[in-house]
Amino acid sequence: MKKVAVFVLGLVLLGGMLSSCGKGKRVSGQLVGVEDRPKWTGINPFGMVYVPDGTLVIGASDQDLRNTYLQRPKTISISGFYMDDTEITNNEYRQFVYWVRDSIAHVLLDDFIEDDMGNLKIDWDMPLDFDDEMLAEMFYEGDDVLNGNYSELNTNKLIYEWEEFDLAAAARDRGKSPRSAFIEKKTTPIYPDTLVWVRDFAYSFNEPIANNYFWHPAYDDYPVVGIDWNQASAFCNWRTKIWNTYRPDERQKEAFRLPSESEWEYAARGGRELAPFPWGGYGLRNAKGCLMANFKPGRGNYQEDGGLHTVKADAYFPNDYGLFNMAGNVSEWTSSAFAENANSFYHDLNPDFKYNATDDDPESFKRKVIRGGSWKDVGYFLRTDTRHWEYQDTAKSYIGFRCVISNMGRAPKNF
């Protein structure tokens, strides 16, 4: 009997040892956290540079022309993030346009497969033939056909459907409402407004660039324009979707987004304290007399800086973070809503002011901050501290955007 008891005790101890060594199982009743968690090695997004944590004085401007306190100085701290080293180009945005076009075509052709959960999804491996009669509704028809060209895509049909979760509203609600109350379903026409080149300038012949700027290969590496704030946000959502599709673990999710106004100013400075321009100097020319950015140097003078309108997105020298054209070329959308006195009331840690304006809101509620100045602006708007705005549903020939993605954990090892 004694030998049997010893044998049973030995089995119990052996079982305890084996369970303590087994991966994903409890270890002797100790608090060890959840095992088998994915390892985090950081990210390295293509075409982006890392902007490290830091502190800066925003709005350090001595040119508040009308004493409106739009640029009241304030010391803030910013968490590290990745930022596109250039503005989003025509060819990069065209990838989004093609994805939406192909998605619509697959739906019309009923190219669906069933995933492991029994849900239907697009079968991207199915080849597309745009001569298929089932896709006729994607093209101009009847009186809309120009010069008998029945193969011209109707860009008004390029609608991107997406969803956005309102975290701020959910935080204020404190769990009183169902999750669905904070999921906003959106439909966004995503094709650039190519007519901005004609509309923005009265009595000016810009038809050639209106016809060619987005499609001609000569402009592939130029910044995309004619994009309103909603379209830029939709692009970020789509980029997040395709990025996370190819991530190794579905629990590791990052989101591309527009930079906040504070993040943009911090990145534009390039690590230079109180720098009025991304290159750090107090003037618009270098020691050799060369202009440092693409803007309007004088009345009626667009060509002196090397660009009659926009230039390639990687033109001119980058700032010390490796970011190109943070001054000039095109102004850039930020995620921030515009308020004249925002510096006075928002927080000093990752400050931002957001307001998701609806179509029914007053026009003043639809103002979004744009930064950096553009090819048609005078030098004042190129300053890192100059604040300006545009309506979120307005597209212009001088406004583009770039994306950011928050860094998780510590700074990258190679920084």
- Per residue in 317-353, pLDDT (tens digit) is 999 999 999 999 999 999 999 998 888 888 889 999 9
11 pLDDT higher than 60: no
Q: Would you call 6 helix, strand, or coil by DSSP? A: helix
Helix (H) or strand (E) holding 257: strand 256-257
CA distance 314 to 331: 15
DSSP 229: H
DSSP conformation class of 7: H
Whole-number pLDDT of residue 324: 98
399-400 and 331-337 beta bridge pairing: parallel
Note the pLDDT of residue 296. 94
What local confidence, expressed as pLDDT, does residue 346 receive?
A: 85
Between 28 and 249, name the one with better pLDDT: 28
**Domain range summary for the chain, segments of one domain joined by +:** 1-37, 48-89+190-406
What are the strands of the beta sheet with 404-406, ordered from one edge?
48-51, 81-84, 404-406, 256-257
pLDDT at 39: 78
pTM (2 d.p.): 0.90
Please determine, for residue 248, whether its predicted confidence score (pLDDT) is greater than 80. Answer: no
- The CATH superfamily label for domain 48-89+190-406 reads paralog of FGE (formylglycine-generating enzyme) (3.90.1580.10)
CA pair distance 172, 304, nearest whole angstrom: 52
DSSP assignment of 353-395 equals: ------TTS-GGGGEEEEES--TTS-GGGGSTT--EEEETT--
State the average pLDDT for the chain.
Answer: 87
The pLDDT > 70 percentage for the chain reads 89
Q: What does the pLDDT average to over 367-391? A: 94
Residue (of 85, 20, 78) closest to 49 by Cα position: 85
- Using the predicted structure, report yes or no on whether residue 1 has a pLDDT greater than 80: no
44 has a pLDDT exceeding 90: no
- How many helices, marked H, and strands, marked E, lie in the chain? 8, 14
pLDDT at 72 over 90: no
